[in-house]
Structure 1
Amino acid sequence: MNKFPSLKQLHYLVTLSETHHFGEAAKRCFVSQSTLSSGIQNLEELLDCHLVERDTKAKTLVFTSMGEQVVDRARELLACSRDLVELSRCSGDVMEGPLRVGCIPTIAPFLLCGLVQQVNILYPKLNLLLREDTTVNLLEALQHGEMDVLILALPVDIHGMSSKVVGRDGFKMVISKNQAASVTMPLHYADLPDKSVFLLEKEHCLTEHAVSACKLTSKEKINPFTATSLHTLVQMVANGLGTTFIPEMAIKHGILENQNLVVIEPPGQDAYREIGLVWRPTSSRTAVFEKLGEIVKGLL
């Protein structure tokens, strides 16, 4: 009879990959260091390959190439096992218990407050545990079973996850009133000075979405400075340094209040990004995500 790795062994290995320290990994797993070390050694014997190279004198460890691959697969298996456990919980009221929700920074400040309020009213037994992070980090956390559902701007490569679009968020351009007086409307990018369009860092998918939706193809118009947040972009433009793209949801929530700025239509026709929910295909909480999506749709 074939022997298979236990979830406990896989958990030991993944935790060790996160800490790179046997003592710390054992502490996180609530076992002794010898128990964790034996568990990983047994896993290596079962798989008939070295996963971790140990240097007891230097007290260091390095994961082998195969070890890194096994860690990635182990994370996926552990995520699936958590989904399996959730399946048994869904026999009662699906809209109860903790729900780990991730959201990107260009959506979170303008949506999550209303989302929490609506959930508290409609589903008081549902406990939202929120995390704000970049798309890449959130998708990695979702794949590893650390998050249940994400609220992202689409389209984006979701690596085989399930998704549902729940609304659109238009793009507008903002410019200082002084500069607006010298620009002919409707706006054409050719009329703008070089390096006058400010964007977010590439880690924020809003930049790619805005550039694509608003048909900005002239790279010479883009300033090399990149901002870490929409608020930084607004301040750059408010000081007369150029123009930028701002989502409508941010404008509606007052990001431009008390700023000497003018909102104009970008050259791209009907420029927008899609807002959607993303989750693991193995998740048993699809009904929860559907109801959550309806709330987000209403807020949008």
Structure 2
Amino acid sequence: MDLTAITLTELRYLVALADTGHFGKAAAKCFVTQPTLSTQLKKLENNLGVQLIERDPRRARLTAVGQQIVARARVILEQIHAIGDVALGQTDPLSGEFRLGVIPTLGPYLLPELLRPLERRFPRLRLTVVEQVTATLVDELLAHRLDAALLALPIEEEGLETLALFDEPFWVLTPKHHPLARRKRVREQDLEGQTVLLLAEGHCLREQALSLCTQSRAEVAADFRASSLETLRHLVSAGYGCTLIPELAVPRLRDPHTVVRPLTGNRAHRRIGLAWRRTYPRPEAVSSLGQFIREQALQCGVGSIRPSTMAAVEQTQTRGGVR
């Protein structure tokens, strides 16, 4: 076994193969030819003296020892990545590569307001955005495939820190001739007995809306579980019930057949924040990004955090190492 002969390139190829499960796709991801990638991985196996990959014509699978080595390879590559980031961050905290996750009920409505100003403020930042549901984003964070994630709080996950950014109010979207459409505002208790459409399982907005519906004694529509807010809009427009939507989505979900009304009550909002690994080497980057997102949210009219909860927010920020 010659460990000194192992290269970072070989580890990158192995991780790419683990992520794609296919030699051709892994080669494309690494911008090399398939024979080059295959040769380097075979060399890695020879140097380690173990078989890392089960090869068949359709798919490449890692052996048990291969899976263990990939897990360690990810950590090594992350640390190499961190060395460069630490050096770069001495002069510009939010620069270099940054991989940001975002939940689907936030990304389409906040990112268009965020990305161009972010490019102008931080021209040396190379941002990659990944849109997934909360559970997947948490897994990606813990696997070192994301640097931070923009999602709804709270997140109770050992190994992660969070930073609260702003509270986003909920609105009620109803058919045009729905009884609630006649109100200027809808109270939580007004939802009692109303049919409410929800997103499918896996979306954090579903869990928040479900909790609110339970407290308000609303009737959850069991026959429909939408995959997006856009699908919910079409169902509401067709008269199947009403739904809850976050405020940033309101301008993009209006149509002639629906009405939106602000929802009032103690649970009529969600808290948006950033999550990142406790061991992440660039907390200054998270702080800079969080402050910038707060500024942009203010411009969109949703930048405040309710005063009654500011103490908890400050405690969360301090625990996460962000001042």
Pairwise CA distance, 1:127: 4.1
* SS of match in other structure, 2:244: strand
* SS of match in other structure, 1:93: coil
Relative to the length of structure 2, the TM-score reads 0.74
Which amino acid letter does the alignment assign opposite residue 256 of structure 2? N
Give 1:273's aligned residue. Answer: 270
Partners of 2:217 and 2:65 in 1: CA distance:
44
Partners of 2:125 and 2:217 in 1: CA distance:
47
Structure 1 pair 162/80, CA: closer, same or farther in 2 (3 Å)?
Answer: farther
CA offsets, 1:217-257, max 9 Å, x none? 86963323111211221221122111111112222x34225
5+ residue gaps, structure 1: none
Which 10-residue stretch deviates more, 4-13 or 78-87?
4-13
Give 1:232's aligned residue. Answer: 231
Give 2:316's aligned residue. Answer: none
Structure 1 pair 98/258, CA: closer, same or farther in 2 (3 Å)?
Answer: farther
Structure 1 pair 244/32, CA: closer, same or farther in 2 (3 Å)?
Answer: closer
CA offsets, 1:39-89, max 9 Å, x none? 13423x3xxx6543346xx67643333433433343233223312221122
Please say if residues 94 and 125 of structure 2, whose CA atoms lie closer than 8 Å, have aligned partners that are also in contact: yes
Which amino acid letter does the alignment assign opposite residue 160 of structure 1? G
Structure 1 pair 263/28, CA: closer, same or farther in 2 (3 Å)?
Answer: closer
From the two aligned structures, give the one with the greater helix fraction: 2
Give 1:126's aligned residue. Answer: 125
Partners of 1:98 and 1:82 in 2: CA distance:
9
Give 2:53's aligned residue. Answer: 52
Pairwise CA distance, 1:126: 3.2
Structure 1 pair 24/86, CA: closer, same or farther in 2 (3 Å)?
Answer: same
Please say if residues 210 and 272 of structure 1, whose CA atoms lie closer than 8 Å, have aligned partners that are also in contact: no
Partners of 1:60 and 1:262 in 2: CA distance:
49
Structure 1 pair 287/176, CA: closer, same or farther in 2 (3 Å)?
Answer: same
Give 1:255's aligned residue. Answer: 253
Pairwise CA distance, 1:287: 1.5
Identity of aligned residues (%): 32
Partners of 1:181 and 1:275 in 2: CA distance:
27
Structure 1 pair 63/218, CA: closer, same or farther in 2 (3 Å)?
Answer: farther
Give 1:297's aligned residue. Answer: 294
Partners of 1:78 and 1:274 in 2: CA distance:
33
Give 1:35's aligned residue. Answer: 40
* SS of match in other structure, 2:197: strand
Q: CA RMSD in A?
A: 3.3
Which amino acid letter does the alignment assign opposite residue 38 of structure 1? K
Which amino acid letter does the alignment assign opposite residue 261 of structure 1? V
Partners of 1:273 and 1:181 in 2: CA distance:
22
Give 2:208's aligned residue. Answer: 209
Partners of 2:181 and 2:132 in 1: CA distance:
38
Pairwise CA distance, 1:199: 0.9
Give 1:137's aligned residue. Answer: 136
Give 1:106's aligned residue. Answer: 105
CA offsets, 1:93-124, max 9 Å, x none? 22433433222221112211222243244334
Pairwise CA distance, 1:205: 1.6
